[in-house]
Amino acid sequence: QVQLVESGGGLVKPGGSLRLSCATSAFTFSDYYMSWVRQAPGKGLEWISYIRGDGGYTNYADSVKGRFTISRDNAKNSLYLQMNSLRAEDTAVYYCARFYSDSYGYLSAFDYWGQGTLVTVSS
């Protein structure tokens, strides 16, 4: 069945960098838009970025624009999130999620999620 497995989280100091990975299996990775969604401790979900199947289009939430970069390697069926200039408010569990598209090809919902990886930004 479809699997998404995140890795790369950990403790980092403010201003530091971290790269998250999401390994996927059991679907044609290049056919799907992919996204990152985060959840601060005890808080709700926040969409932060998505990338088109061929990697040629990306979009970011204002809260991470200019600091985070989403990318993918379709040969490795993997999604990445490069996080720079990290702040305390970036502390969260980061989930990768697959986008489901409707019959017209419009993005519709996040149909599969990984188990998440915790990023803690603290001195």
Partner 1 sequence: QSALTQPASVSGSPGQSITISCTGTSSDVGGYKYVSWYQQHPGRAPKLIIFEVSDRPSGVSNRFSGSKSGNTASLTISGLQTEDEADYYCNSYSGSRTPWVFGGGTKLTVL
Quote the least distance from Cβ 74 to partner 1, whole Å. Answer: 22
Which helix or strand (DSSP H or E) is residue 18 part of? strand 18-25
Tell me which residues touch partner 1 (CB under 8 A): 35, 37, 44-47, 50, 59, 61-62, 95, 100, 102, 106-116
Q: Buried b / exposed e across 47-58, counting CB within 10 Å, b at 16+?
A: ebbbbbbeeeee
What are 105's two structure tokens? 């090809």
Rounded CA-CA distance 15/21 in Å is 20
CB nearer to partner 1: give 55 or 116.
Answer: 116
CB nearer to partner 1: give 60 or 80.
Answer: 60
Rounded CA-CA distance 90/103 in Å is 35
CB nearer to partner 1: give 28 or 108.
Answer: 108
Rounded CA-CA distance 61/65 in Å is 6
Quote the least distance from Cβ 123 to partner 1, whole Å. Answer: 27
CB nearer to partner 1: give 59 or 77.
Answer: 59
Quote the least distance from Cβ 110 to partner 1, whole Å. Answer: 6
